[in-house]
Chain A
């Protein structure tokens, strides 16, 4: 909780300072509230000591709580500054920001500098949180421990030898990465401030934009494409690149990630009509925005084929590489599922054979494989239950499925069957509220959110049990 307070507080203070420099109207609200949050966070951090040895389940549940608190705090800031007219709009905007989903309901052109920074900054924080969940929280306390880059090989430092070093190393990549993309946008002709906002949304696979025509310039498009490719890449891959470990050509996950882009573009080019080079670049942009789950909006060529929405939905649900800020079920999980499917076919012929599944050069444990299967099961369950809810609240079937997939994969604005981006403000409030849990579940890779919900239900059940026993005791029964 204190971490959430500190981070959102710091973000609010930074936003307030930027607003102050630009003589905005929201600076005082942002500064005062941000300082209050920061102080409260520092107080909690200093006063409240965690248990000597926290259970993994507590850490996982605490992650969910921290993200939920972060969302509420950012929503509070939107309400207090008047950026959102209604609390539910503020909650939707905050959720879509922190979860890097980018289904925005606020027109950014009407906001001051501070609030625009807060909006993109919330995505940047959300992207960082996603990296922590994917690289630190889940491998160390959940599942997939064998895939954490923990051991040094050939004298090269690993990304995640332990929890603290992993966090530091993530920041060592995340902050310069943001700077690099920022520089790219400025070189492409954007202003420093707009470039910074877009860089924060790119590196976090967030997808917020601050104007209708931000991607009109081809050079900005190219920077965004490279930025999205990098943001959807695994931090382990990038770390190996930075420390000069090499062997990237042997990384099947990376090959699959790049292959998805190439295949996606080729299929779209084959299916579409009237494609020239500019249209092909736009298609690459659309594919990169889908695979990395960034969701930056981009117009599509006129001859948009019937199969294209299905292809993009598939790309979005596959998502980015594991260990990146991108969403979706992620590539490692898909590779594991494909290998499991092949193993199952082999088992039909050789039922007693011992068949191991190798991923990233390592033998995947049966427990990990089991958890990946269940993750797929939960991913589909979240999509269907969300689609059902939004369908009941008035969306047509295709839009409901599309919205649910985009929300769960944290992939940003939904594209209609005709290829045109759908404005979330056209949806009813109940539809938007129904999408919120899917975004949180998706951003936390499902498991932490499910564990937190289960922990909450257990807590309520235990309390009810204690109350029942207490009542029975008062009425003369035995405990």
Chain B
């Protein structure tokens, strides 16, 4: 097809436009569901149209071009910001967060928070006893699940599947959005790679949905939860989350789905090509399984020691360790104070959960957090440095499995962890200064930056973030969710971009 003349050459505009089209398609689908079973179909259709028009305008008036690294970061960060803002429209138009005693700014903030939490696959919610999920129509609920599904594999990755013209820029875009140290190529062309990732993702979602139906969920709930399990998002269509079903089988399916979602999708692809699982050959996946197993055992022991029976302890420990260790964020608490309500546990198991909130899943997965590979390399780097004190002249490489890591990669990972630590500390300080206690603030910040979902103390699995955080604090957390979802740098670089431009102009004068 011949490209029409007179289009602006801006990759950011093109990517954002197509992303908005995808989101509006999701809104339209949800509007259809809402029209069948709810009363906000018109509002959702209106939201879809309001999103569709600028999306189409951007798509038709722009064309992708070759872009430098700075533009890649601003394209990715800009796309996520704009999509998150438009994603709040269905909640606003449907009046989802309207309640007595609050003004429009708070409603807007809540809608934005829920939208960002959805697209970034965090799973923190402002629904709660003041505003029950049970009172919402099926379209709104499905849209909420859809935001996590589309955010799970990545909006930009989705865009790249339909933008073969991006060529080398596509790799940069995917690398800037992908969890971990850049994206692996599954095919010679980036568009093919992106498509293959999405096929795998859709396949996994389908499998989880079928398994959930098999263990007794309704079609609607199964599809909705498959969306948020494959994406390790954690939104649920029920106020008690997975605790609503109180079923070991449902919890098992969710746990397996979360572990697969938090594993590197390249491994899934290789397994499909080899027709046998190859996951166990990967040191990161092995480390990840060891981490989850070890944490489950320790938490179980501590819960048993605290007086909970062994079976109940194992079930609660396994589910919550997996759901937080994979950045899923589902809850299996049947109510406040029940077995799965981990904020009522002793401090020891809670601290393990806090550490899991930071670690996250594997690179190249849908999960958030620091990622197990970075942790393994960080530990290996620390060991190497300590050995270097004993043997100052020894040449000590950093190993990952049987391979030796390149020094620039090790430095990059060390730099990432430094920035991550600083964000946790400064974020905790800011959120605490906005009126939150230490544990809730720390849990909220770590959970948001790692896209985990529930936090600790007043923002636990059975609580709403409205109860735990003030409106400004929730906005800070929403920003951190986006920062965490994009692996820190795109968002941070977008913040310093105006300063850089100003600085360059002053220097050139």
Contact = CB atoms under 8 A, between A and B. Distances in A.
A451 B418 contact: no
Interface centre among A311, A344, A371 (most CB of B within 10 A): A344
A463 B442 CA distance: 45
B382 A376 contact: no
A296 B392 CA distance: 40
Interface string B242-253: 000000000000
A306 interface: yes
Contacts of A309: 432, 438
Interface centre among B354, B386, B389 (most CB of A within 10 A): B389
A262 interface: no
A421 interface: no
A345 B414 contact: no
B305 to A, nearest CB: 8
Contact of B351 (A313, A343, A388): A388
B294 interface: no
Interface string B58-75: 000000000001100100
A420 interface: no
Interface string B419-455: 1011001001100111111110110000000000000
A79 interface: no
A373 interface: yes
Nearest to A372: B418
Interface in A122-169: 142-143
A270 B278 CA distance: 57
Interface string A442-474: 000001001100110000000000000000000
Interface in B163-209: none
Nearest to A61: B390
Contact of B493 (A310, A345, A367, A374): A345
B415 A314 contact: no
Interface string B488-502: 010011001000000
A392 B355 contact: no
Interface string A256-293: 00000000000100010000000000000000000000
A340 B441 CA distance: 26
Contact of B441 (A310, A348, A447, A454): A310
Chain A binding surface, main DSSP class: helix
A23 interface: no
A376 B352 contact: no
Chain B binding surface, main DSSP class: helix
Given A307-B429, A388-B351, A397-B350, A349 B69 contact: yes
Contacts of B46: none
A267 B437 contact: no
Given A267-B433, A370-B385, A451-B389, A345 B418 contact: no
Contacts of B378: 377
Contacts of B392: 56
Contacts of A307: 429, 432-436
A417 interface: yes
A111 to B, nearest CB: 34
A57 B388 CA distance: 10
A472 to B, nearest CB: 27
B388 to A, nearest CB: 8
A22 interface: no
B381 interface: yes
Contact of A56 (B350, B389, B415, B438): B389
Interface centre among A143, A351, A392 (most CB of B within 10 A): A392
A347 interface: yes
Given A344-B416, A373-B418, A400-B351, A271 B433 contact: yes
B73 A392 contact: no
A57 B389 contact: yes
B256 interface: no
Given A306-B435, A310-B438, A349 B493 contact: yes
B348 interface: yes
Nearest to A337: B418
Interface residues of B, number: 49
A401 interface: yes
Nearest to A340: B418
A341 B417 contact: no
A72 interface: no
Contacts of A417: 437-438
Given A380-B421, A388-B348, A397 B435 contact: no
Contacts of B437: 306, 398, 417
Interface in B108-159: none
Interface centre among B385, B419, B439, B492 (most CB of A within 10 A): B385
Contacts of A317: 425
Contacts of B428: 310
A261 to B, nearest CB: 16
Contacts of B405: none
A380 B73 CA distance: 30
A450 B417 contact: no
B480 interface: no
A337 B417 CA distance: 10
A42 to B, nearest CB: 32
A313 B433 CA distance: 13
B347 interface: yes
Contacts of A400: 347, 351
A378 B438 contact: no
Contacts of B457: 397
Interface in B401-421: 412, 414-419, 421
A384 interface: yes
A341 B433 CA distance: 24
B456 interface: yes
Contacts of B219: none
A20 interface: no
A455 to B, nearest CB: 8
Nearest to A313: B438
B500 to A, nearest CB: 9
A459 to B, nearest CB: 12
Contacts of A371: 385
Contacts of A397: 347, 350-351, 354, 439, 456-457
A60 interface: yes
Nearest to A310: B432
Contacts of A338: 422
B351 A345 contact: no
24 contacts: A57-B390, A271-B433, A305-B433, A305-B435, A307-B429, A311-B429, A311-B432, A311-B433, A344-B418, A345-B419, A347-B415, A349-B493, A350-B69, A370-B381, A371-B385, A374-B386, A377-B382, A391-B346, A391-B348, A396-B347, A398-B439, A400-B351, A401-B438, A451-B390
Interface of B: 69-70, 73, 302, 346-348, 350-352, 354-355, 378, 381-382, 385-386, 388-390, 392, 412, 414-419, 421-422, 425, 428-429, 432-439, 441-442, 456-457, 489, 492-493, 496
The 8 closest A-B pairs by CB, nearest first: A344-B415, A391-B347, A307-B433, A310-B432, A392-B348, A307-B432, A397-B347, A374-B385
Given A307-B436, A310-B432, A392-B348, 9 more contacts: A310-B442, A341-B422, A344-B412, A349-B69, A373-B414, A376-B421, A377-B378, A388-B351, A454-B390
